[in-house]
Amino acid sequence: MALHALTTRLRQATCPHVFRSLSIFHISTLPFFSIQIRCDPDVVPEKSDPQESTVVELLKQVSLLPTEAEAMESLKTSGIVPNGDLICSVVWALREEWRLAVLAFKWGDEWGCIDEKVLNLMTWMLGSHGKFSIAWCLIRDSHRSSVDTRQAMLVMIDRYAAANNPTKAIWTFHVMEKFRTAPDEEAYCALLTALCKNGNIEEAEEFMLLNKKLFPLGTESFNIILNGWSNVTVDVIEAKRVWREMSRCCITPNATSYTHMICCFSKVSNLFDCLRLYDEMKKRGWVPGLEVYNSLIYVLTRENCFSEALKMLEKLKEEGLHPNHATYDSMIRPLCEAKKLDEARAVLSSMIGDNIQPTIETYHSFLEVTSFEGTLEVLSMMRKAGVGPTGDTFLLILEKFFKLSQVENALRIWVEMRQYEIVPVAPHYLKVVHGLATSGYLIKAKEIYSEMRAKGFLDDPKLKKLLYRTARRKKDRREWHAGEDDRGAGVNVKKGTILR
């Protein structure tokens, strides 16, 4: 009933598309504007509220009213009484529509049900969209309402780092005191971690060294920096330097330190140093974990020591560890890269035999190297296993066939997507149009480009320029054009001679 009454009011509204008093609620519906933001498990609600879908629909309706006051009044008279869990669930559902999420937050604030959990999620969502000024307003208002803002400040640090703004992340750390939150060891490590995981490792290391009087250098902080160089940027030279720096500062490496270094050496195929540190680790009394064994299995397989990798798999089982999908992927990936598909399939069979469900990454390893028939087989396996395929899967396949100049196979996959109920989005269209244009299939490229524009996706100036530039330089492979070819040679139609 509330939605029906609201619909009637909307028809009578004089300005049914934007709030005059608070313009952030103007909603765009162009499909290309949808922002996909990665999930942060620390802020994800445990379960959806039963009223979530009803409230989401209601918010979409009231956002079309002329003013914020009318929208809030409509929400009040909807008969729905929000609580913290409901607001949290709705904000998560609207994480790609930040304007609507802000409206939900304000509605919850009217009912006094904004708690720390809702604030943290809202801060993360706004930060993911780059709306930091709005996030700060909510944090300040929540602080005045005696809501604990400590975790929200840490979320801001993480989001600034993710936005490649380390200066603001460090600034946020320093202003925590203004919100009656002391920047303690936990916040210090959270800052270092946020900077490192987003590639700002130099800034993190500099901050660590400049603040060593307030936060004495220790194994934990060094491990964060070491992890950044080892696993984020995979810079083995910098990782070795930090390892030596730990020794100079009399910081004793622990199991985590060795794990980071072994992972780093594994990624650069340094088998010798992987085994050396593995032996040294055990001599010092540290017990290697599953991550260490996975790294060793990967580098052994990559360096053509597959039989030794299988022995390492048995060894980790003897140590009481249980292999996971990453363990088997550590063999499947390098085997596929080496085109040893028979061995890779055998490992996949063992994986399934050990009741370990292959992930989408497992199948992607096969898809990167299989033929067209093999690709269809893997896609069928993915569907039966219930792990895809997804839109990213088809992007990978399309890129593979275009790289191999197998345009016909790429077009067949383009058609096959519909069989798996995958609706093409902008990246798919751009990939196909670019691949067709650079391969000389201009007529088909323009046809698909027109389809992309007709579906509401934004124009791509670079791609458009490529289409018409290529039209002048290359002949379509499906239609003979007299004139110059790629090498500048042409056929004189009148004389039948080749021109140079």
Three-state SS letters, 392-435: HHHHHHHHHHHHCCCHHHHHHHHHHHHHCCCCCCHHHHHHHHHH
Domain count, the chain: 1
Nearest by Cα to 40 from 194, 144, 246: 194
Cα 146 from Cα 168, distance rounded (Å): 25
Where in the sequence is the domain holding 69, given as residue range(s)?
1-145
Residue 109: the pLDDT is 86
pLDDT, average across residues 67-89: 84
- Quickly state the pLDDT bin for 2 (edges 50, 70, 90): very low
- Residue 134 counted as domain residue: yes
Cα 500 from Cα 486, distance rounded (Å): 12
Most confident listed range (3-12, 427-436, 484-493): 427-436
DSSP state, residue 14: S
Cα 157 from Cα 273, distance rounded (Å): 35
Q: 360 to each of 325, 365, 382, 383, 385, how far by Cα in Å?
A: 10, 9, 8, 11, 10
- Residue 322's φ and ψ, nearest 5 degrees, are -110, 120
Look at the block and give the residue holding tokens 């008279």.
77
Q: 39 to each of 92, 96, 139, 182, 359, how far by Cα in Å?
A: 10, 11, 21, 28, 18
Examine the pLDDT at 372 and tell me if it is beyond 90: yes
- Residue 499's φ and ψ, nearest 5 degrees, are -100, 145
- Residue 25 counted as domain residue: yes
Examine the pLDDT at 50 and tell me if it is beyond 80: no
- Residue 168 counted as domain residue: no
Residue 161: the pLDDT is 96
Residue 82: the pLDDT is 83
**Count of residues in the chain:** 500
Cα 71 from Cα 107, distance rounded (Å): 9
- Residue 443 counted as domain residue: no
- Return the structure tokens found at 487: 């090498």
Give the list of residues 6+ apart from residue 476 with CB closer than 8 angstroms, or none: 440, 441, 442, 443
- Residue 21 counted as domain residue: yes
3-state secondary structure of 499: strand
- Return the structure tokens found at 333: 């990936």
pLDDT, average across residues 165-192: 89
Cα 462 to the center of its chain, rounded Å: 25
- Residue 282 counted as domain residue: no
- Residue 276 counted as domain residue: no
Full-prediction pTM beyond 0.85?
Answer: no
- Residue 76 counted as domain residue: yes
Cα 312 from Cα 331, distance rounded (Å): 11
- Quickly state the pLDDT bin for 67 (edges 50, 70, 90): confident
Residue 177: the pLDDT is 81
Give the Cβ contact number of residue 15 at 10 Å: 11
- Residue 484's φ and ψ, nearest 5 degrees, are -75, 145
- Quickly state the pLDDT bin for 298 (edges 50, 70, 90): very high
pLDDT, average across residues 91-117: 89
User: First vs last Cα of the chain: how many Å apart?
Assistant: 77
Q: Worst-scoring range by mean pLDDT, 247-251, 310-314, 317-321, 495-499?
A: 495-499
Cα 330 from Cα 468, distance rounded (Å): 44
- Return the structure tokens found at 437: 């244009």
